Amino acid sequence: MNILTIKNLIKHNIMKNILSLTLVLAFVCCSASAQIQVHSQAPVEKDFVGYLFPYFLGNRVHQEAIHFAVSMDGLNYFTLNENRPVLDSREISSTGGVRDPHILRREDGGFYMVVTDMTSHLGWDSNRAMVLLKSDDLVNWTSSVVNIQQRFQGHEELKRVWAPQTIFDKEAGKYMIYWSMQHGRNPDIIYYSYANEDFTDLATEPKQLFFPQNGRSCIDGDIIYKDGLYYMFYKTEGHGNGIKLATTNSLTSGQWEEIEGYKQLTDDAVEGSTVFRMIMSDTYIFMYDVYMRGEFHFTKSTDLKNFERIHDVSMNFRPRHGSIIPITRWEMQRITDKWGKPEELVVLPNNPVLPGFHADPEILHSKKTGKYYIYSTTDGHPGWGGWYFTVYSSDDLVDWTFENVMLDLRSDQVTWANGNAWAPAIEEKMINGQYKYFFYFSGQPVAGGGKQIGVAVADHPLGPFTDLGRPMITESPTGRGQQIDPYAFTDPVSGKSYLYWGNGYLAGAELNDDMTSLKTETITVMTPEGGTLQDWAYREGVVVFYRNGVYYFMWSVDDTGSPNYHVAYGTTTTPLGKIEVAKEPVVLIQNPEKRIYGTGHHSVINIPGTDEWYVVYHRINKHFIERRRGPGYHREVCIDPMFFNEDGTIKRVVPTN
């Protein structure tokens, strides 16, 4: 059972707007002033779970339209929308038909698509235009027709504009559109132009991109960047038809190295090649349209020069020239919500719930807003070097929206620390009739030394947060370990609030009414003694909650970079009492068979008014489990239900993908 089942398979459009062009104005408080920070929410590769294949069907007018298909493995594809168009060619083109769709993920996470504006029944030399499309979500598209003959001078003899594609030119910092054109009786030439900032027009005069040594026709260019080189696959037209390869280190230099021989592994006529890299892999798929047979051939390579045929592929449709990109779970959910989920498509993964790398999640249900919030360590930085905290919000624990960077240790917002923004905690507290939010965190002091714990305060879960201006915990009550991993808990019995912390030890103390200082006389070392790395030896990441008269203490065991990193628990009868370790203490641990590793440093949430509980935790992303890849700082946030036995003991949580 997973959270979607528990929530009655809530109809959702997961992470809407998260992976599109998201320039977030994260206002952060600096004394009385505010700073503006811009953060892009482009996905990281580990979040890709499948592939999107835009294509067209054939040479009849009703077939000259954009269709979508999807795959979970990059080799077996299933059409969406019952193989009907996802966009109406009559609405987006000047000819009533479009062909050769090429899709590109923008640098900010959105999408561009370009297509040939053409219907073949008017003749192969009948078109003069292309269509530029853009989208933030793969569902809603805007389009612009660019007629080369009308837009630019000197193209009176232009006969055809074929197979446009887009690539981000790293040198120019712009999006380049390239395509083939024929003028009069001259050869087909691959040209380029840079798109304008809105991707609604070509901003520069078309220039020749590729200069083949033999000066003959070239069409269907397809460029991919790898290890400092641009690899362009192109079709030779009218002279030994096939797909060839040329490389360059500068797109507009005119200097291309042409690689000997044809790259297709068939004697049949081919065109419309596309190349993409498999997710989290060094393997590239080079596929091409064997158009006389009505099929695509797939080949694979690691160097983009030597290829091996793949036979174990399938499609439940017969596509023509298209392109393929990897997509995230949220994007897959969005397009299958829109155009239907193919019966053959496997169940989409349930976790992680946040895009990108995050760790040490703290979850809050706010009485003020009625929403849920996740605050976390920003991960993916070598040496746990993140310096800011983000916040995501949700109405239902399923759809999570990035809100802002709510605390930045490298800004004027925090003056005493400048890095290692780790393991946050937050507490909502009613003070003088108003809700206040106390955000506890650990950071690296500017003055040096070991980690220390600070606190920032706000009137809203999203901030702006004002730091206390100094750390509130600077020393260990045991004389060892780090001052990290704070956790705040308000006792529903007494109304008193407590703070717990420690790495290598566990300490707790009652907070003063200001919630920003400790009653030092109550500081208690509570470390559960004993245990091993296989069961309950205390390391860090304490969590405290109350249920049916019992105080539950949970903590993480082992090193955060270890696949064995897991959660154990015990109970007490008071907030600062001696912890009695459970007879079966392990609550959450790895499942190597499912490639789930390092499940720990969590928080717990109870759905208000119910006995429904969830554990919010991080795990090591499966692609980074090798020590050389930094598993300890490539973690992702997951949510799974937590259940209790009749005697109040916690059942072992089943981590899900």
Q: Please report the domains of the chain, with CATH numbers, ordered by start residue.
A: 3-41+355-642 (2.115.10.20), 45-339 (2.115.10.20)
Query: Tokens 């730091």 — which residue?
Result: 467
- Give the rounded percent of residues in the chain with a pLDDT score beyond 90: 90
In tens, the pLDDT along 256-279 reads: 999 999 999 999 999 999 999 999
Give the pLDDT score at 467: 98
Angle at 624 between CA 618 and CA 628, to 5 degrees: 125
Residues ≥6 apart with Cβ < 8 Å to 157 = 183, 184
Is 596's pLDDT higher than 50?
Answer: yes
- Own/partner long-range contacts of 224-228 (Cβ < 8 Å, ≥24 apart): 224/275, 224/276, 224/277, 224/284, 224/304, 225/167, 225/170, 226/284, 226/304
Is 293's pLDDT higher than 50?
Answer: yes
DSSP string, 314-328: EESS---SB--EEEE
How far, in Å, CA of 164 to CA of 184, rounded?
A: 20
Give the pLDDT score at 41: 65
Is 250's pLDDT higher than 80?
Answer: yes
Is 30's pLDDT higher than 90?
Answer: no
- The residue from 237, 360, 427, 636 that is catalytic is 360
- The residue from 137, 427, 428, 540 that is catalytic is 540
Mean pLDDT of the 387-409 span: 96
Closest CA to 472 of 512, 418, 430: 512
Average pLDDT, the chain: 92
In tens, the pLDDT along 572-592 reads: 999 999 999 999 999 999 999
What are the tokens at 228?
């400092």
How far, in Å, CA of 190 to CA of 187, rounded?
A: 10
What are the tokens at 478?
């045991």
DSSP state of 592: G
Mean pLDDT of the 418-422 span: 96
Q: Give residue 625's pLDDT band: very low, low, confident or very high (50, 70, 90).
A: very high
Mean pLDDT of the 337-352 span: 92
Residues ≥6 apart with Cβ < 8 Å to 278 = 74, 284, 285
Q: How remote is the C-alpha of 40 from its chain's centroid?
A: 11
Q: Give residue 240's pLDDT band: very low, low, confident or very high (50, 70, 90).
A: confident
In tens, the pLDDT along 477-518 reads: 999 989 999 999 999 999 999 999 999 999 999 999 999 999
Can 205 be counted among the known catalytic residues?
Answer: no
Is 23's pLDDT higher than 50?
Answer: no
Angle at 11 between CA 10 and CA 17, to 5 degrees: 115
How far, in Å, CA of 168 to CA of 210, rounded?
A: 17
Is 38's pLDDT higher than 70?
Answer: no
Is 546's pLDDT higher than 80?
Answer: yes
Greatest Cα pair distance in the chain? 92
The answer to pTM > 0.75 is: yes
Give the pLDDT score at 241: 79
What are the tokens at 272?
């419309």
Give the pLDDT score at 238: 73
Give the pLDDT score at 9: 32
Give the pLDDT score at 595: 96
Mean pLDDT of the 11-17 span: 34
Is 173's pLDDT higher than 70?
Answer: yes
Is 19's pLDDT higher than 60?
Answer: no
Give the pLDDT score at 170: 92
In tens, the pLDDT along 81-139 reads: 999 999 999 999 999 999 999 999 999 999 999 999 999 999 999 999 999 999 999 99
Beta-strand pair 111-117/76-79: unpaired
Q: Where are the alpha helices (DSSP H) in 93-224?
A: 148-151
How far, in Å, CA of 182 to CA of 173, rounded?
A: 28
Better-predicted residue by pLDDT, 240 or 175: 175
In tens, the pLDDT along 425-439 reads: 999 999 999 999 999
Cα distances (angstroms) measured from residue 7 to each of 230, 396, 641? 47, 8, 10
Q: Give residue 346's pLDDT band: very low, low, confident or very high (50, 70, 90).
A: confident
In tens, the pLDDT along 129-170 reads: 999 999 999 999 999 999 999 999 999 999 999 999 999 999
How far, in Å, CA of 209 to CA of 165, rounded?
A: 13
Q: Which amino acid is at 122?
A: L
Closest CA to 408 of 21, 31, 23, 27: 27
Closest CA to 314 of 53, 66, 113: 53
Is 69's pLDDT higher than 70?
Answer: yes
DSSP state of 58: -
Can 271 be counted among the known catalytic residues?
Answer: no
- Give the rounded percent of residues in the chain with a pLDDT score beyond 70: 94
Residues ≥6 apart with Cβ < 8 Å to 449 = none
Q: Are 511 and 500 a contacting pair, CB within 8 Å?
A: no
